[in-house]
Structure 1
Amino acid sequence: MNTLYVNNGPSRPGKDDGEFTASDMLRLLRDHLGMLFLFIGIAAALATAYAFLARPIYSSDVVVRVDPPDPNALGIAPQSQMQMGQSLPTVNQLAPAEISVMQSRSVLEPVVKQFHFDIKVKPKTFPVLGQIAEVFAKKGHLAPAWFGLDAYGWGGEQLQLGRLDVPPALEDQKLDLVLLDNNQYELRDPDGEMILRGTIGRPATANGVSILVNGATGHPGVHFDVTRLNTLDAIALMKNTMKVAESAKDTGVVQITFNADDPALTADVANALGQAYLTAAVQARQANDTKTLEFIRGELPRLERDLKTAEGNLSAFRAKSQSVQPIPEAQAYLQGSIVSMQQLATLKLQRTQALQRFQPSSPQVVNLDQQIAELEASNKQIQQRFDSMPASERQSATLTRDARVAETIYMGMVNKAQELSVRRASTSGGAHIVDNALRPYRPVKPNKSLVIVAGTGLGFFIGTFFIFLRRHAMIGVTDPMFVERRLSVPVLGEVLYSRQQAMLDHEIAVSPVEHAPLTYSGAESGGAPRALPHIELPEHDAFAMPHVADTDRDARVLATRYPHDPAIEALRAVRTELYRDLANAPNNIVMLTGPIPSAGKSFVAANLSVLLAEIGLRVLLIDGDMRRGHIASFFKQSNPGGLSEVLKGEMALGDAIRYVGVPGLSFISCGVYPENPSELLMMPGFRNMLARMSDQFDLVLLDTPPFLVVTDAAIVASDAGSTVLVLRSGIQSEEEIEETVKKVQRAGGRLVGSVFNAIPRRPSNRRSYGYAAAYTSTFKSMN
């Protein structure tokens, strides 16, 4: 029994088994440029159609500046405290808050009502054809109905609704409005029941539904889908068409952008959003000013009493002590303590005001409490520095400080009350519009160039992915290098697909060989099998180029009909490899097999046998496929009278050997398909026949059934000195090839290589094909 011998042929160094490299990917794409360009073309066409047929979207924006809050809200904060801006939000804190206000329902709802964004109107269109008609309809003109289908819109239909109020049960439900003659219309519910009949230009109310149709354009009988959206849904949809963002960080300048398919509407809505925000800001400022004014007016009587008390105490002390001006040390005490006490008084008033809105534990009140505690601690330090001053001077300075602080706070509050009274009547708020929205003249979407480029790129990636997926998942192995890299089985030849062979196959199919009646020179049917006789073969010069008889030209073998076809040139390379390997083989029997049917074993066997005979070898070709063998048809012969008859003893071996018109080539057909081919191959007579033929011929070429389908090839494998796998591009999977190699090993075969058959002519192999074609044309011209 032969042991498995796999030639570790020219596997490429530096690559792991099964690794798919970048160069492989480039070669794969080059081989499928047509398919790749098809994907790219389809994607580019769709992208171009979308870019030029999609409804354009316009964008317009209004720019608003948010003013920072007044740091002297009560009118009594000292300059230093105003500069510090204690307890007030900064600009970068204010802008996000105002952006949230701009997107609030209080700002968006008036705009939704103003432009009727809570009402959706769309003419009913015929599927597909209606969309096509709308694309080609002339803007502002009513398109004629196609095929007389007046119930559908074909372009130019319009319906202007001034009002639509429905019960909650009919919100977000499509109502059917049908235009009638004489400016009449009908409104129907989703079930088709009529709700009301009305006249264009006049309000109509019935069944809880109120509607006002201001105008309509359309053929009588056309239907419109009319939907009254829930207000929250309408606001949510509007948020999706607008964008609010700060123009630049920490500037307080906010940009409100609105997108729509109508340029005039885009600018109008953007300006309306800016005005709605200003209105909300004015209302918020007025409400805040009203609360502040009420607080100041409530505190003024107490502050006035405090001022009179402080001034009275100071006057009484001066009259008693006969002192008018404090000493220089007292002046320094006054300068430090007046500002500190004014700040303390301001914070206490702010805390009193804050308690009207917040709990004592709120962050706003806690922050004020911390500032008050810090100022009180600072005042104690100032007081301790002047403890050494005479008591009378210290008392005079304290009374003077109290009087000045009380006067400053009172007068500041009086002035602030007057200011708030005037400002409360103003229509300006804490923001103003920097730039109004203008009507855009150029759409922002779709960006035609970007869409086309992106679509083309997407087509390239989808095409690449499909080609890669098709190679690895959808079709079989197409790369001969897989066999060498993954399985270390050398590829003896890469046979290109032949158009001439396709014509020959068609000729075989349309003109089958008629089965001639069987004539047996051996035992009669039913007699005992006769021994295999010795066969005398004619001697001839093995090294002389034999003359191809005229009968060769009638055969359907590509090597005789078109001897310079690129496929035959590739098989000549296989012939060279096999001839070299014969010196290392245990015998001269070569078995051809494959994983599955339709790999082209018979084609390779027939043509390879002719090529081997052409170099002067005595070759015997045996069609060992007694199930579906058809090599005889290549030579315009029939199957009966072949291997099956010999193994069953119905025909002598010498009578089964045929001449096919090629010098040096003999042939044994498969015979009539028997019922037990495996059993016939396992009989000792088959092994004896192979041994006898091996002695009398230079090379025995045995074609066998597929290895994964039946067991015939596994039975023969151990008797053959060499086994060649015939693989067809795109037919067998990686798993099937691997399993075949394993089964050859288990059967004891000696695998010398593979032949990759019917490879499509791709750009990646065009170079070698071009070389072969060039040499072929040169040879023809010389002859």
Structure 2
Amino acid sequence: MKLKYQASEGLSERNDEFDPGSIIDTLINHRKMIVAITMAFILVGALYAFCATPIYRASISIRVEDNSPTALPDSKDLVRNASSLFQEKSSAESEMQILRSKAIAMQTVDYLKLYIDAEPKRLPVLGGLIARHTDTRMTPGIFGWGGFVWGDESISVTTFEVPRKQEGNPYTVTALTGGQYQLRGPGLEQPVTGHVGVDEQFETSHGPVNLLVSKIDGESGAEFKLTRHSRQQALEQLQKGLQIDEQGNKSNVLGVMLEGRDPVLVTNILNDIGAVYVRQNVNQKGANAEKSLNYLEQQLPGAKRQMEQAEEAYNTYRNSHGLLDADEESRLILRQATEADSRLYDLKRQRQDLTAHLTAEHPSVVAIDQQIASTNKYVESLAARVKSMPSAEQGALRLMRDMRMTSDMYAALRSNIDTLRLVKAGQSASVQLLDTADVPERPVKPAKTLVLLIAAVLGLFVAIGLAFLRDYLFKGEADPEELESRTGLTVYATIPVSAQQEQLTQKMAIRGPEKLALAFRYPMDPAVEALRTMRAALQFALNGERNNVVMLAGPLPGIGKSFLSANLGTLLASGGKRVLLVDGDLRRGHLNQYFGLQRGAGLADLITGERSLEDTVHKDVLPNLDVLQCGEYPHDPAELLLSANFRATIRAASEQYDIVLLDAPAILAVSDTVTMAPVADSIFMVARFADTRAGEISESVKRLAQTGSKVEGILLNGFKVSRGNYAQSRRYGAYAYDAYYSDSVAK
């Protein structure tokens, strides 16, 4: 029997070639699992979206002005012009760091007592969900047990100080009648009782606990969770939660956001941070102005003394030389020299500022250098004019210049002191709180639509991944050529799934015994046509030899072996052969159902000698087809099959019939088939499409070989034509059967 299975054209030359059809197969075959897993993820996402604690977001906006001082000017600038205090610009980046700094955040932590965490005790998940949808108070606990609260109960704690070792450990406050409460927690051997509105002190094993509960809204028995965190932990949590960025490119407008479970609390935190930040900015500017004012007032007596000394020196020199007041030319030279000195000082300071971030070759620095050189030449020309004057007038001019410079310096000091006093009195911040935080009405998290979308996409990817993983780990062979190469056996036929057989199976369950063999009821079914291919090959192989006992076996139950036996026997009988169909499964055989037979005496009775072959066989259940049932299930089937009576029964049947078709039990499940195999002349292995694995077939062949039996080939059953085998249906004939007979019916 060496009829090789012929694969149609178009077969992939490489087994590992990427095949889109196989991907479609996997998705279709596991569509129910994919849908179920995806829906499960969506359900979990929906539970999270609707049960998770809402997160609210509040925000403030702060404008940073360009005239905020960052450093104290040098003494010459300060004396010349107090407005230099307000000419340097603030950096938005530096202000962002100041906003997040400990100096700002810690004031808010202390003011709002963020280190105290007091909240109602709620049942996880459901407690918060119920509380968010009710405005009334309910009886605490579950049937009075547990102290869980379900409504709008609340607690307000003004003071809560615990020993350092107990920071972060939760305490429990239980509301009592009469304005009292009970406190339980670490270090308290017994619950203690306190009064609402009273600053209480309780002694513990680690030190005293100070507690001031200012208000409790809740029924008696309601419990609240109370925790005292360290100030440092509260500070770090606040700093971590602040989201600060500049709104727009170089806009100098800072946006500060904070998220939290309590919309009122996050609003209060941001508004307090904004107020503290502005107040500190004002205080810092006032401190700078105070330092500058003190410095100028210290310089004022010395400047006055220098001015008086210069006036005295000038008057003394003029009297000693008998000089009158300076003429018009001397006054002009004096004014020009003073202005030139002042301009030269300004140019040098500008150059110093430029070279702090530019090189000497930069055009701006080069231009300043040219102006300095020009001014120096002008000063030198003025000096030359002075040298051309008489010596007495030169000395008077020099003293007059000193007198004027000291007088101008003194006047500038007086003016700037008055200016700084006005600035200090009317000091304003260089930052402005543009928008305060309003209590948010809607949560920003969880975003229900986004959560459901992510859950659906994630579930789909996980489901598809599991489908491919399951196929990789557990999927049986779906390619006949691959099955042949892995097992070394010939695939004689691929039998497609029959929709008609599924209907017959349903009728069998409803109506009871009836002749429901597919080959008898629907002879033109594609599955029957595939079995005709097997019949032709089998009859050709058996022709001319006394080789008429054929066994159909399979590795595991549920692969359709009995279905193939019943219909192959029907087809062999319809071809003119006298056929005996034997149900060899003494444990769970049910071949009788395909022919409408009630369970009765069968093979087990023949082996025990209680019945004869003639009395046990059901004659002509179909033309030329006799059926031998398995009989009542014995308690020792393996021992019965080992007996000589079994072999004698099969030999006797083979002499009376053209073909004896033996339906055997699963090889890997029980040892019965291995025991029966020696009586068979030809053995065919039944495999289920995409279910039976090559390793299972190989192991079954090995077990049969231990008794000297040889497997002739494979019948691949359950080939899915309409869907789930997109990659194979046209390649191995199953699609062709369907298409051919569909066209015939249409015609």
Please report the TM-score for the alignment, with normalisation by the length of structure 2: 0.71
Which residue of structure 1 lines up, in the alignment, with residue 65 of structure 2? 67
**Partners of 1:584 and 1:302 in 2: how far apart?**
133
Partner amino acid, structure 2, of 1:116: K
Q: Name the CA shift for 1:559/1:378 in 2 (closer, same or farther; >3 Å).
A: same
In structure 2, the residue corresponding to 1:185 is in which secondary structure? strand
Contact 1:75–1:413 (Cα < 8 Å) also in 2: no
Contact 2:184–2:190 (Cα < 8 Å) also in 1: yes
Which residue of structure 1 lines up, in the alignment, with residue 56 of structure 2? 58
Which residue of structure 2 lines up, in the alignment, with residue 530 of structure 1? none
Contact 1:60–1:439 (Cα < 8 Å) also in 2: yes
Which residue of structure 2 lines up, in the alignment, with residue 726 of structure 1? 687
**Partners of 2:308 and 2:553 in 1: how far apart?**
122
1:116 aligns with 2:113: yes
How many matched pairs? 691
Which residue of structure 1 lines up, in the alignment, with residue 576 of structure 2? 616
Q: Name the CA shift for 1:43/1:198 in 2 (closer, same or farther; >3 Å).
A: same
Which residue of structure 2 lines up, in the alignment, with residue 736 of structure 1? 696
In structure 2, the residue corresponding to 1:114 is in which secondary structure? helix
In structure 1, the residue corresponding to 2:497 is in which secondary structure? strand
2:622 aligned to 662, 665, 674, which one? 662
Partner amino acid, structure 2, of 1:107: I
**Partners of 1:129 and 1:263 in 2: how far apart?**
20
Post-superposition CA distance 1:137-192 (Å, at most 9, x none)? x3254557652448432323211112222221221121222222221223233355
Post-superposition CA distance 1:726-748 (Å, at most 9, x none)? 32765x44643576689999986
1:97 aligns with 2:121: no
Q: Name the CA shift for 1:108/1:327 in 2 (closer, same or farther; >3 Å).
A: closer
Contact 1:43–1:458 (Cα < 8 Å) also in 2: yes
1:640 aligned to 587, 604, 615, which one? 604
1:755 aligned to 711, 717, 720, which one? 717
Deviation at 1:117, TM superposition (A): 2.2
1:563 aligns with 2:521: yes
Which residue of structure 2 lines up, in the alignment, with residue 210 of structure 1? 210
Q: Name the CA shift for 1:150/1:631 in 2 (closer, same or farther; >3 Å).
A: closer
Deviation at 1:243, TM superposition (A): 2.1
**Partners of 1:72 and 1:167 in 2: how far apart?**
43
Q: Which moved more, 1:738-747 or 1:121-130?
A: 738-747
Deviation at 1:124, TM superposition (A): 2.8
The within-5 A match list for 1:475-486 is 476-477=475-476, 481-483=478-480
Which residue of structure 2 lines up, in the alignment, with residue 259 of structure 1? 259
Deviation at 1:494, TM superposition (A): 2.3
Which residue of structure 2 lines up, in the alignment, with residue 443 of structure 1? 443
Q: Name the CA shift for 1:659/1:329 in 2 (closer, same or farther; >3 Å).
A: farther
**Partners of 2:311 and 2:374 in 1: how far apart?**
23
2:168 aligned to 142, 166, 172, which one? 172
Which residue of structure 1 lines up, in the alignment, with residue 223 of structure 2? 223
Q: Name the CA shift for 1:394/1:229 in 2 (closer, same or farther; >3 Å).
A: farther
The within-5 A match list for 1:423-442 is 423-426=423-426, 428-442=428-442
Across the aligned residues of Structure 1 and Structure 2, the Cα RMSD in angstroms comes to 6.1
Partner amino acid, structure 1, of 2:496: E
**Partners of 2:95 and 2:680 in 1: how far apart?**
91
Overall identity of the aligned pairs, in % = 23
Deviation at 1:394, TM superposition (A): 8.8
Q: Which moved more, 1:177-186 or 1:299-308?
A: 299-308
In structure 1, the residue corresponding to 2:444 is in which secondary structure? coil
**Partners of 1:694 and 1:431 in 2: how far apart?**
111
Partner amino acid, structure 1, of 2:528: R
Deviation at 1:325, TM superposition (A): 5.9
Contact 2:45–2:451 (Cα < 8 Å) also in 1: yes
Post-superposition CA distance 1:392-440 (Å, at most 9, x none)? 3497999899999988887766655544444345553231112222343
**Partners of 1:365 and 1:388 in 2: how far apart?**
26
Deviation at 1:481, TM superposition (A): 3.5
1:160 aligned to 156, 159, 165, which one? 156
1:392 aligned to 384, 393, 400, which one? 384
Partner amino acid, structure 1, of 2:505: Q
**Partners of 1:605 and 1:404 in 2: how far apart?**
129
In structure 2, the residue corresponding to 1:604 is in which secondary structure? helix
Partner amino acid, structure 2, of 1:155: G
Deviation at 1:274, TM superposition (A): 1.0
Q: Which moved more, 1:246-255 or 1:668-677?
A: 668-677
Deviation at 1:134, TM superposition (A): 2.8
Q: Name the CA shift for 1:651/1:46 in 2 (closer, same or farther; >3 Å).
A: closer
**Partners of 2:542 and 2:15 in 1: how far apart?**
32
1:341 aligned to 345, 367, 371, which one? 345
The within-5 A match list for 1:440-589 is 440-473=440-473, 476-477=475-476, 481-483=478-480, 492-496=494-498, 498=502, 500-501=504-505, 504=508, 558-559=517-518, 563-564=521-522, 569-582=525-538, 585=541
Contact 1:119–1:227 (Cα < 8 Å) also in 2: yes
**Partners of 2:242 and 2:700 in 1: how far apart?**
65
**Partners of 2:278 and 2:698 in 1: how far apart?**
77
In structure 2, the residue corresponding to 1:661 is in which secondary structure? strand
Q: Name the CA shift for 1:334/1:292 in 2 (closer, same or farther; >3 Å).
A: closer
Deviation at 1:764, TM superposition (A): 8.1
The within-5 A match list for 1:286-301 is 286-294=286-294
**Partners of 2:654 and 2:235 in 1: how far apart?**
93
**Partners of 2:300 and 2:347 in 1: how far apart?**
18
**Partners of 1:395 and 1:14 in 2: how far apart?**
110
1:189 aligned to 181, 185, 192, which one? 185
Q: Which moved more, 1:26-35 or 1:735-744?
A: 735-744
Partner amino acid, structure 1, of 2:159: R
In structure 1, the residue corresponding to 2:143 is in which secondary structure? helix
Contact 2:579–2:657 (Cα < 8 Å) also in 1: no
Q: Name the CA shift for 1:693/1:181 in 2 (closer, same or farther; >3 Å).
A: closer
Q: Which moved more, 1:331-340 or 1:721-730?
A: 331-340
Deviation at 1:297, TM superposition (A): 5.5
**Partners of 2:285 and 2:629 in 1: how far apart?**
106
**Partners of 2:403 and 2:568 in 1: how far apart?**
124
Q: Name the CA shift for 1:189/1:274 in 2 (closer, same or farther; >3 Å).
A: same
Q: Which moved more, 1:426-435 or 1:460-469?
A: 460-469
**Partners of 1:403 and 1:657 in 2: how far apart?**
146
Deviation at 1:63, TM superposition (A): 0.8
The within-5 A match list for 1:20-35 is 21=20, 23-31=21-29, 33-35=31-33
In structure 1, the residue corresponding to 2:235 is in which secondary structure? helix
**Partners of 2:360 and 2:305 in 1: how far apart?**
28
Deviation at 1:572, TM superposition (A): 0.2
Deviation at 1:59, TM superposition (A): 2.7
Q: Name the CA shift for 1:403/1:743 in 2 (closer, same or farther; >3 Å).
A: farther
Q: Name the CA shift for 1:192/1:209 in 2 (closer, same or farther; >3 Å).
A: closer
Please report the TM-score for the alignment, with normalisation by the length of structure 1: 0.68
Post-superposition CA distance 1:29-63 (Å, at most 9, x none)? 44555554444544445544554555544333211
Contact 1:6–1:751 (Cα < 8 Å) also in 2: no
Contact 1:4–1:748 (Cα < 8 Å) also in 2: no
Gaps of 5+ in 2: 389-393, 486-490
**Partners of 2:336 and 2:187 in 1: how far apart?**
89
Which residue of structure 1 lines up, in the alignment, with residue 391 of structure 2? none
Partner amino acid, structure 1, of 2:502: S
Post-superposition CA distance 1:305-358 (Å, at most 9, x none)? 8989999999999999x997699999999988754433546899x9xxxxxxxx
**Partners of 2:644 and 2:10 in 1: how far apart?**
39
